A and B are shown apart, each in its own frame.
Chain A
């Protein structure tokens, strides 16, 4: 917002353009670009120069499993997030603005709450003797505790919860731009509510789903805290593996190579998103 405002003032743009951004640029170079380059160098020099670290990562079944697992978790989390977020976003889009801003406030507030706190809260809820299992057993729905933690279920629940705002916010924007009259028109054309959703609402909201989905997917790929605390050892994700390689195994070369691969995949997906958003602009939001 303020950035746009500054750009509208030509004098500021000309004289302060580079000078004003200098501290931030320095910071990014020192603490981001330099470490990334160092990481890349380490991955091809440690312990000896060559691509052997990458060969190990791609050749070993154990590492391949972690890569697969990472993509599996990110895919499942993204899919579940889309399904859960859509009705919420739709409700927010058609809600009276006053009520909508209250619900928005609740969503934003949950984003500001400490990540660890929220993840530990899920541990309390999901464990064998946790609130959910005990309640279900008390009312007689189950006789044995459900395995809700230390597996894919736990990771999915915990991460979907954290990712929801990132999906809801772009989706609400897209849905608000859809004229509700369009759906009435579809109804009078003979479309049942399901037809109207499948043929009209869903295609029209695809840009929002794509933007939010890609963001959630990219964030999920590199997630560390939630998978570590709520997931089991059998479905380790990439970030956790990198931490283990560097902290426990002290294998800096291998860890760097894995981190670099993660960075490349993330950047590739980000580039894809930019392309999609760019294409959307060119066709006027279709």
Chain B
């Protein structure tokens, strides 16, 4: 087996009786962009702080290229980090901020100068070197923070919700910058966020945290198309959960009965259910069709409201059992618009739906 680049092994952190991180193990290859996604208090930031050396774990280990980081103080770990708030040194210019990690490493002047120029052009702030952080916008400050964190070529870059203080447009702009910088430098990035769109947009892999544990780890597609639990399904993307009763499973394909009495077969499952067990069927809003296809199942609904979002239309529909569901058909937009307050059938592919225990 190849030695993992960064290996987080059985990491556990407790505060009194509260377990913040619950035996987390992750193996991170070199150059990966891994996002820790999860609601606040799920242990993602604590895990990052342990890697940064701001907190000592209760047990477990963090190994970088086979060597434990735990006994190394923060300032000797050689890790880059961008924080949620702008932590630039307010009394130093932009160029001096970027030069700071090189100055404390006593690098020769010529190298510092060259590296600062290189870093400022990496984050596209070439002409801002002489300004003070107070004179920059939030987005520019985060780019300076990024340049400062990368100036000493750290093997790992930690990012703790770096975009949460920025407005939506700036966020998207900096996301693109981060992707480009990751591509250009090949640095391994561990990124913490509670924003699923950010996670999906940026990451190679996502580790979804819940109550101090990793609920699922995989690519964005894995988490979206093959959620391991109802929590993952509801956290990533939008989902409708229809109450259902499990009838039987044949060859990994289940037959269920929905609340309105209709029977659907061909639902993909990867766990065992007993006959009559209460379950919930997850259907993505965009998995619904307005016209039947081969092997689709029908669902009787009434359209209550539609809203236009440019590339697609969102429909709120009510099932015969009285549950409101979110429908975002990819085509037939005109039909969806015409059909307000009309009873009709919508369709979905059971193979693209998931069954979870209730």
Contact = CB atoms under 8 A, between A and B. Distances in A.
Interface residues of B, number: 31
A184 B87 contact: yes
Interface string B60-99: 0000000000000111111111010101111100000000
Contact of A190 (B75, B88, B91, B145): B75
Contacts of B89: 182, 186, 200, 204
B105 interface: yes
A5 interface: no
Contacts, number: 75
A190 B105 contact: yes
A179 interface: yes
A237 B49 CA distance: 55
How many A residues are at the interface, by size bracket? 20 to 34
B90 A181 contact: no
Contact of B90 (A184, A187, A199, A204): A204
B103 to A, nearest CB: 8
A185 interface: yes
Given A179-B85, A181-B85, A284-B134, A188 B91 contact: no
A286 to B, nearest CB: 6
Contact of A185 (B53, B83, B91, B103): B83
Interface in A158-203: 179, 181-182, 184-193, 195-196, 199-200, 203
A239 B134 CA distance: 45
Interface in B146-183: 148-149, 152, 158
A188 B77 contact: yes
Interface string B32-75: 00000000000000000000111000000000000000000111
A187 B75 contact: yes
Nearest to A284: B134
A283 B90 CA distance: 11
B110 interface: no
B241 interface: no
Contacts of B52: 184, 188
Contacts of A203: 91
Nearest to B74: A187
Nearest to B133: A286
A190 B101 contact: yes
A173 to B, nearest CB: 16
A133 B134 CA distance: 53
Nearest to A196: B75
Given A186-B100, A190-B105, A191-B100, A181 B87 contact: yes
A192 B148 CA distance: 17
A203 B149 CA distance: 21
A284 B91 CA distance: 11
A185 B87 contact: yes
Contacts of A186: 89, 100
Contacts of A188: 52-53, 74-75, 77, 79-81, 149, 158
B305 to A, nearest CB: 44
A204 B91 contact: yes
A285 B135 CA distance: 12
B249 to A, nearest CB: 51
Nearest to B134: A284
B334 interface: no
A204 B132 CA distance: 13
A200 B77 CA distance: 19
A286 B103 CA distance: 21
B1 interface: no
B250 interface: no
A204 B75 CA distance: 20
B2 interface: no
Given A186-B89, A188-B52, 19 more contacts: A179-B87, A181-B83, A181-B85, A181-B87, A185-B81, A185-B145, A187-B75, A188-B74, A188-B158, A189-B75, A189-B100, A189-B101, A190-B104, A192-B75, A195-B75, A200-B89, A203-B91, A284-B134, A285-B90
20 contacts: A179-B85, A181-B83, A181-B87, A184-B52, A184-B81, A185-B81, A185-B145, A185-B148, A188-B77, A188-B158, A189-B75, A189-B101, A190-B75, A190-B152, A191-B101, A204-B89, A283-B134, A284-B134, A286-B91, A286-B132
